[in-house]
Structure 1
Amino acid sequence: MPVKEACGLLGIYSSRMDRSIAKTVYYGLFALQHRGQESAGIAVSDLRSIKYHKGLGLVSEVFDEKNLEDLTGKIAVGHVRYSTTGSNSLNNAQPLVVRYHSGELAVVHNGNLINAFEIRQELEKKGFVFHTTTDSEVIAALIAKSGTDLVESAIQLTEKIKGAYSLLIMTKDKLLAVRDPHGFRPLCIGSYNDAYVVASESAALDTIGASFMRDVCPGEIVVFDKSGMSTCNVSVERKSLCIFEFVYFARPDSVIDGVSVYMARWKAGKILSKEHPVDADLVVAVPDSGNVAAIGFSDGTGIPVGMGLIKNRYIGRTFIQPSQRIRNLGVKLKLSVLKELVNGKKIVLVDDSIVRGTTMSQIVNMLKDCGARSVHVRVSSPPVKYSCYFGIDTSSRKELIASSYDIESIRKFVGADSVGYLSIEGLVEAVGMKDRDLCLACFTGNYPLKAPRKGKKYLFEKR
């Protein structure tokens, strides 16, 4: 599944000065690395000023013992990024730290604003100079230009910006957590010793030993300061949690808005086995995206699940791309087939989704080249037919195979003996939330917010 999510956030507000606060954020960011691999950063306030360090690459590549030791304080925010707006450059790495009339502030953002371009133009006409190409800087600029206190500025911000945003805003003495009125992106609160922790996923809380308290509600602004934790709510619109958090993005050990990601994926696989049964010898997952759904499919059918595909976990973002002459190696650089397991068997190949179809076709061919008698593709989500505008880097609609081809044409394209997708009703049942509380736009085209017109420039740069 070659779609990528925007970012992962983690923030800490401690009741005392903490020399290891940056290290705690560092370990928490490891747990969120799956949400972004392009850049990482941490900013810390010691109640006098904000210090920060950020860079391009994975968390382990950006930080070392020395730059973590230099970041001591009482409040901290961290970020891992995958760009959906703006290029992958150091300027666009977060946290974004800006000076304004009240001092300094740091912003980290997960999501995508659909009216960022218009706001940017408006601010530029008033003389504001932007230093990045991200929509996140628009958020920082709106807060910085406000003449009111931070909480009031955050309320005004939510009235101005449109789209998906989970935010952490840090000043020298406060930390704010903000989730958009639709709740597109997850955000939760935990406690750690004498500190509050805010993270994109509960798995990050588990990693640093924090106890889960609750999710940040859609449309909620949570304030952490010397008085403790307080909250205020802006207007809540239709809740529209992104369904792909359960399909693909979140870690399986996370719980989002009360729903276990693992159980949602397991149920999706089991329901898929009832909707599209098949006579087969072995269930094989596309690692790692199809792992849990494959277990569910196996449990639903009694067909054993096996590790027919082995993933090379040492090909990171810095891997040198092959020359054009050998580019047809494709996924063989990342996946290999366990020939002894698949040879002579009828295979059920389970993945979370099919976007362009090129990767799936290569995997099907690899299995057949290694002796599989047949390969039946089963997908634990409905066909992705529409682009996302709320923080997922999906292809343009013309590149989405399901937007142009029916199931039989997709089957022929990927070379499978059969293809079966989970129904929308089946996926909603697996998640266990009401369909009106989920964003299903990538499957249905019914967007919770008015989608930009075709050709309208709503991003600063093309994806």
Structure 2
Amino acid sequence: MERKIIVQNASGIAGIVIPENESASSQIYYMLHCIQHRGPDACGIASANGERIFNDKGLGMLSEIFKPDRLEELKGFQAIGQVRMKTPDDRQEENLQPVNVRAHQGPFSLVCSGMLLNNAKLRSEMMESGLIFQGTSDAEILAHLIQNSEGRLIERIEQTVGRIQGSITFLVMTKNTMYAYRSLDGIRSLYLAKLTDGGYAFCSESAGFGLLECEEIREVRPGELIILGKEGYESRRAGISAGRPCAMETVYYSRADSDFGNLSVYEIRKRAGEKLAEREDIDADIVIGVPDT
């Protein structure tokens, strides 16, 4: 039987841990607002306070879904979120993220961006073994893989990373810890910021940290798995590669004021325009970007 790959890579994710602070969901709101261009059709936020995980999501722009009263219900010192763009094959409300899992080793929540190339194969194997799916998202596949692996949660995530194929980034949040992963090819972007108040944050773009006070911002390396808790973070760098950056990040997905490598996206677009101009012999009065994203 032919397996259909569901295209669902249009999205942006963010995560934050702020020790001794209960307003993580408000900070995630601002981060997602900064990357709203990566997904204007749906959004979701999950938060954790060390005892419980709260989750809220819906179809629409961030400002339409998350009014102040809804944000106040998402209490906790850490939070994750996603903004999502609907594609022709991915319009189900069941695919909204974060995905919450009630696992016997403890609950966790998950968001992802990108696409698993072996999602159809993994889904078929899981359904044949009796697992149930609510939608068609890769997030559900990742959640099932984690839940059906063995050992501690970090070991389960490492086993999951070993089974997936494709370009993807994801965040996993328990009641008191956060995990971040960027696939080995490095096609999907993910950044880590150290905050001046002692916290840490993740985002699909560096521009997502624009409303936060940051001491340092760096790319999560291709193949890097990060464990983030109240005491700081640990990096597991097994399998790290140089990566293969996607040109679409600089010409379409990213904001012009985001960074890409050691250059701003604006500077990269400007240099690309200069190279294109070298191939033209038109005597023009003005040059503009089309489309200007």
TM-score for both structures, normalised by structure 1: 0.59
2:267 counterpart SS class: helix
Q: Using a 3 Å threshold, how does the CA distance of structure 1 residues 260 and 133 change in structure 2: closer, same or farther?
A: same
- 2:105 matches 1:102: yes
Alpha-carbon distance in structure 2 between the residues aligned to 1:60 and 1:259: 31
Within the candidate set 39, 44, 47, 2:47 is matched to 44
Within the candidate set 54, 59, 63, 1:60 is matched to 63
CA RMSD of aligned residues (A): 1.9
Q: CA deviation at 1:255?
A: 0.7
Aligned length: 286
Amino acid at match of 2:121: E
**Matched-pair contact (CA < 8 Å) for 2:25–2:78:** no
Larger radius of gyration: 1
Within the candidate set 227, 233, 254, 2:237 is matched to 233
Q: CA deviation at 1:160?
A: 0.1
Q: CA deviation at 1:173?
A: 1.4
**Matched-pair contact (CA < 8 Å) for 2:15–2:171:** yes
Q: Which residue of 1 aligns with 2:12?
A: 8
Q: CA deviation at 1:281?
A: 2.8
Amino acid at match of 1:100: A
**Matched-pair contact (CA < 8 Å) for 1:39–1:80:** yes
1:241 counterpart SS class: coil
Q: Using a 3 Å threshold, how does the CA distance of structure 1 residues 83 and 5 change in structure 2: closer, same or farther?
A: same
- 2:198 matches 1:194: yes
Q: Which residue of 2 aligns with 1:137?
A: 140
Alpha-carbon distance in structure 1 between the residues aligned to 2:8 and 2:142: 22
Give a deviation string over 1:379-407, Cα, whole Å, max 9, x none: xxxxxxxxxxxxxxxxxxxxxxxxxxxxx
Alpha-carbon distance in structure 2 between the residues aligned to 1:202 and 1:142: 29
Q: Which residue of 2 aligns with 1:73?
A: 76
Give a deviation string over 1:59-112, Cα, whole Å, max 9, x none: 111110101011111210011012458522321111111111112111110100
Q: Which residue of 2 aligns with 1:184?
A: 187
**Matched-pair contact (CA < 8 Å) for 2:17–2:24:** no
Q: Which residue of 2 aligns with 1:286?
A: 290
* Alignment map for 1:62-461 (pairs within 5 Å): 62-83=65-86, 87-192=90-195, 193-236=197-240, 239-286=243-290, 288-289=292-293
1:164 counterpart SS class: strand
Amino acid at match of 2:220: V
**Matched-pair contact (CA < 8 Å) for 2:122–2:141:** yes
**Matched-pair contact (CA < 8 Å) for 1:220–1:233:** yes
Q: CA deviation at 1:21?
A: 1.3
Please identify which structure carries the higher helix content.
1
**Matched-pair contact (CA < 8 Å) for 2:12–2:82:** yes
Instruction: Identify the structure with bigger relative contact order (alpha carbons < 8 Å, sequence gap 6+).
Output: 2
1:22 counterpart SS class: helix
State the identity %. Answer: 36
Q: Which residue of 1 aligns with 2:3?
A: none
In structure 2, stretches of 5+ residues that fail to align are 1-6
Amino acid at match of 1:140: A
**Matched-pair contact (CA < 8 Å) for 2:222–2:242:** no
**Matched-pair contact (CA < 8 Å) for 2:8–2:90:** no
Give a deviation string over 1:252-278, Cα, whole Å, max 9, x none: 101123332111001111121112131
**Matched-pair contact (CA < 8 Å) for 2:183–2:223:** yes
Q: CA deviation at 1:24?
A: 0.8
Amino acid at match of 1:120: R
Q: CA deviation at 1:127?
A: 1.4
Amino acid at match of 2:113: N
Q: CA deviation at 1:226?
A: 3.3
2:74 counterpart SS class: coil
In structure 1, stretches of 5+ residues that fail to align are 290-463
Q: CA deviation at 1:214?
A: 1.3
Q: CA deviation at 1:6?
A: 1.2
Amino acid at match of 1:255: D
TM-score for both structures, normalised by structure 2: 0.92
1:73 counterpart SS class: coil
Amino acid at match of 1:200: S
